[in-house]
Amino acid sequence: MDTDEIRSALASTGYVAEESAATALWLAMELKKPLFLEGDPGVGKTELARAMATVLDLPLIRLQCYEGIDAAQALYDWDFPRQILHVRAAESAGMKDVDQIEHDLYDRRFLLARPLLRALEAPCVLLIDEVDRADDEFEAFLLEILSDFAITIPEIGRIAAQEPPLTILTSNRTRDVHDALKRRCLYLYLEHPGVEREMAIIRTRLPEISEALANEVASIVDRIRKLDLLKPPGTAESLDWAATLLALGARTISPDVAELSLGALLKYQDDITQVRALLAS
Whether the CB-CB separation of 168 and 48 falls below 8 Å is answered with yes
* Residue 200: predicted pLDDT: 94
* Residue 233: predicted pLDDT: 94
Rounded CA separation 261/168 (Å): 34
Percent of the chain at pLDDT > 70 equals 94
Question: In this predicted model, what pLDDT tens digit does every residue of 202-229 receive, in sequence order?
Answer: 999 999 999 999 999 999 999 999 999 9
Tell me the pairing of strands 76-78 and 111-113: antiparallel
Question: In this predicted model, what pLDDT tens digit does every residue of 128-151 receive, in sequence order?
Answer: 999 999 988 899 889 888 888 988
Helix, strand or coil, per DSSP, at residue 121: helix
Question: In this predicted model, what pLDDT tens digit does every residue of 76-123 receive, in sequence order?
Answer: 888 778 868 767 777 677 666 666 666 667 677 778 889 999 999 999
* Residue 98: predicted pLDDT: 61
Q: What is the mean pLDDT of the chain?
A: 90
- How would DSSP label each residue in 18-51? -HHHHHHHHHHHHHT--EEEE-STTSSHHHHHHH
Rounded CA separation 52/197 (Å): 19
| pLDDT band at residue 34 using 50, 70 and 90 as cut-offs | very high
Which residues lie across from 111 on neighbouring strands?
Answer: 78
What CATH fold (topology level) applies to the domain 3-71+114-189?
A: Rossmann fold (3.40.50)
